[in-house]
Structure 1
Amino acid sequence: MSQPLFNPFTDLIFDDHFCFLTGDLTNDSISVFPEWLMNHFKFGDEHIEMLDKSKVYTYADLRLPCSARVKKAFETLDFEIQKAYKKGYVGMASLDQELLFQWTGRIVYGLLYYEMIYERDRLLAKGENFKLSVTLRQRFGYFHLMLQSLIEPISFVGKKPWSIVVFPLKYSKDIFSYRDDTVNLMFQFGVNGFGFIVCLQDNGVLAERHKELLDKIKGHVLHPIQFEELYAKFHYSDYILQYKPEYNIESNEQGIEIAINSEGKEPVFGFWDNDIYAQLLANYWQVYGIEKEDILQFQKPVYSFLENPYSKDFIDPESINFPF
């Protein structure tokens, strides 16, 4: 390609007049959360807090400036996701993972965009400059480049830069649940019929780490308490992952090719601290009245609804009595 693509993390450009994806001048915008999703579950007027809890928006308030072609591309993507959504688990599981990456990436990037704006404005009000570490600039810059695959001839060669797992899931009708971690680029989504976990830039490492458990889950319709536990395992694994994804990026006449740099250091996981993990899991299980002290008891294995702690057999979701 003749010119490098827009990277807002080079000069930290987050402005209402520049398209978030291309950098083009614009007066148009698109919602961070797809409008069909907000309308279906009626959460547009509900409140969402920024990371430090001091800034509150409604979901409908969150909008990304975008050019006409970016808006059209996301509207087309939303249509494809909505079609799959109506078919439940079968429809979502049959989607090309790149589409799920782009769709969830738009939400996670949108939330990250607002975190960047909030932090920039907070620091400017104090007379301080807004800065990001080199590591975060690089991580978010790679993520932004990959998200541009929606509108640019960008292809992923070989192993994909993400982990995406989709499961049948039993929730009460019209319940919608999601969690995100914008710094670590993770997303969890659950409704009646299916749920999925997306790690947007782990190079597939987390799915590989939990492959044995994921294989046990196949063929089962998860109870929500199991789905929350699975995300806790992914989330904590990401927390202790000592690994910096690196990529080989090449431009040619056809576009840009992104391949994982396999010559870098192999993924290494730090010490798994059951005390920290139990606290994280308790945060997810609090709706069931399960506390950290219930999960981690003296001289007992960590409480689990996914595997029998002694035999490691998968626990039948139908045997779980908690409501869904």
Structure 2
Amino acid sequence: MQTEIYKPFDTFNFGNRTCFLSGKPLQSVEEKIQVFPAWLLSKYNLYDQPFKMLDENFPTYKDLKLPCAAEVNELYIEPLEAEIKAAFEQGFEAVKALDEWKLFLWAGKLMYGIIFNELQSAIKQQYAQGQGLNISQSLMHKFSQLHLMLQMLLLPIVFEDFKPFSFFLFQIEPETDQFNYRDEINSLTFALRLKDFGFIFCLQDNGANTIYHQEILDKIQGQTLHPIQFEEFSGRIFYSAYLFNRLPEYHILPVNDKIYVEAMPLKGLSSKPYFDEWKPKVYGQVLESFWKPWGFLLLEIIKNLEHPMSFLVDKNSMFIRAKEIDLPG
């Protein structure tokens, strides 16, 4: 097992001759893996579907790849993919039985793969224009820390009494045969809805979004959600992740044969709340996007600014059962 942390952001190494996870030289630029695993691309016929990048380019899903050493893929990536695939094929109960950390690593690898491809594309564009790359240092710091966390796959990394993420898993009814995926790389937020389950990750918030939404979570945790309810809750999480105004920091402490990660207090030197002000109109715009399949417009959603439209709770703030939801059309 490798014992030294690989830090590609220190040297800005995002070429195709170095393994994305271990930093070891590759035998060929063809030594790559898919960002979205082949089994997922095949099941949902995604190979030739367009994937929108931040620069408005549209590569296909199969074009998104990561340089990866064959040994790393065989020993660490493929076993994780096999376990996730088996659970996904069985559905909610099997996904619920998975170790959260394995789902975190799976989602994190996918998110980092997209980031890696975004960085490669940005580097090519900037240098083609004769310019250096200009990306927010705080964003690079987040990406670097996500990459460190992914190295749990091959390094003896131990998180000291905390999880760096918020995770939300729900059973969904009725089932879907479609691939429903959404991410926001600036806030490292990820949502996936398949078959009879859906889950959301805030990959680097030290659990802050879980605490922020505790009131609604107390009402919906353990409940079966209608797809529109899951999308509503996803909208809440994506919006609050955008409002989250802290940049988590970590101490890395190598001790003997382990690497300990310790979270610094989120409060830091600031006395302001962890989240910026929640604005109903902006939240309504988020919901309009998440509810696009059902055709709800912003004016309907925020007709009452104090109480935007909700399918999760009624006017008395009580949970609405999935079977009670009656949608037009």
TM tier relative to shorter chain? over 0.9
Q: Which residue of 1 aligns with 2:245?
A: 242
Provide the rounded CA distance (Å) in 2 between the counterparts of 1:39 and 1:78: 14
In the alignment, is residue 221 of structure 1 matched against residue 221 of structure 2?
no
* Amino acid of the structure 1 residue aligned with 2:7: N
Contiguous gaps of at least 5 residues in structure 1: none
Give how far 1:2 is off: 9.9
Provide the rounded CA distance (Å) in 2 between the counterparts of 1:48 and 1:193: 24
Give how far 1:219 is off: 3.2
Q: Which residue of 2 aligns with 1:59?
A: 61
Does structure 2 conserve the Cα–Cα contact (< 8 Å) formed by 1:10 and 1:137?
A: no
Give how far 1:253 is off: 1.5
Q: Which residue of 2 aligns with 1:315?
A: 320
Provide the rounded CA distance (Å) in 2 between the counterparts of 1:263 and 1:51: 29
Closer, same or farther: CA 15–171 of 1 in aligned 2, 3 Å: farther
Q: Aligned residue pairs: how many?
A: 322
In the alignment, is residue 81 of structure 1 matched against residue 87 of structure 2?
no
Does structure 2 conserve the Cα–Cα contact (< 8 Å) formed by 1:180 and 1:186?
A: yes
Provide the rounded CA distance (Å) in 2 between the counterparts of 1:189 and 1:15: 29
Q: Which residue of 2 aligns with 1:280?
A: 286
**Pairs within 5 Å for 1:19-38:** 19-26=19-26, 27=28, 28-38=31-41
In the alignment, is residue 257 of structure 1 matched against residue 260 of structure 2?
yes
Q: TM-score, normalised by structure 2?
A: 0.93
Provide the rounded CA distance (Å) in 2 between the counterparts of 1:219 and 1:202: 23
* Amino acid of the structure 2 residue aligned with 1:109: Y
Does structure 2 conserve the Cα–Cα contact (< 8 Å) formed by 1:156 and 1:257?
A: yes
Does structure 1 conserve the Cα–Cα contact (< 8 Å) formed by 2:3 and 2:155?
A: no
Q: Single out whichever of 268-277 and 212-221 deviates more from structure 2.
A: 212-221
Aligned counterpart in structure 1 of residue 72 of structure 2, from 52, 70, 73: 70
2:159 is paired with a residue whose SS is: strand
Give how far 1:176 is off: 1.6
2:291 is paired with a residue whose SS is: helix
Give how far 1:69 is off: 2.7
Q: Which residue of 2 aligns with 1:119?
A: 122
Does structure 1 conserve the Cα–Cα contact (< 8 Å) formed by 2:246 and 2:266?
A: no
* Amino acid of the structure 2 residue aligned with 1:57: P
Q: Which residue of 2 aligns with 1:107?
A: 110
In the alignment, is residue 200 of structure 1 matched against residue 206 of structure 2?
no
Q: Which residue of 1 aligns with 2:146?
A: 143
Give how far 1:170 is off: 2.2
Does structure 2 conserve the Cα–Cα contact (< 8 Å) formed by 1:160 and 1:260?
A: no
Contiguous gaps of at least 5 residues in structure 2: none
* Amino acid of the structure 1 residue aligned with 2:15: D
Closer, same or farther: CA 140–101 of 1 in aligned 2, 3 Å: same
Closer, same or farther: CA 221–289 of 1 in aligned 2, 3 Å: same
Provide the rounded CA distance (Å) in 1 between the counterparts of 2:89 and 2:305: 46
* Amino acid of the structure 2 residue aligned with 1:15: G
Q: Identity over aligned residues, as a percent?
A: 36
* Amino acid of the structure 2 residue aligned with 1:192: K
Does structure 2 conserve the Cα–Cα contact (< 8 Å) formed by 1:163 and 1:203?
A: yes
In the alignment, is residue 175 of structure 1 matched against residue 178 of structure 2?
yes
Q: TM-score, normalised by structure 1?
A: 0.94
* Amino acid of the structure 1 residue aligned with 2:186: V
**Pairs within 5 Å for 1:82-97:** 82-97=85-100
Give how far 1:264 is off: 4.3
* Amino acid of the structure 2 residue aligned with 1:14: F
1:57 is paired with a residue whose SS is: coil
In the alignment, is residue 134 of structure 1 matched against residue 137 of structure 2?
yes
Give how far 1:84 is off: 1.5
* Amino acid of the structure 2 residue aligned with 1:19: C
Q: Which residue of 1 aligns with 2:7?
A: 7
Give how far 1:298 is off: 4.8
Q: Which residue of 1 aligns with 2:17?
A: 17
Closer, same or farther: CA 77–299 of 1 in aligned 2, 3 Å: closer
Provide the rounded CA distance (Å) in 2 between the counterparts of 1:94 and 1:150: 19
Q: Which residue of 2 aligns with 1:302?
A: 308
- What whole-Å deviation, never above 9, does each CA across 1:121-158 have from its counterpart, x for those lacking one? 11111100113332122111111000010111111111
Provide the rounded CA distance (Å) in 2 between the counterparts of 1:300 and 1:255: 50
- What whole-Å deviation, never above 9, does each CA across 1:81-128 have from its counterpart, x for those lacking one? 112223311111111111011101111111111110111111111100
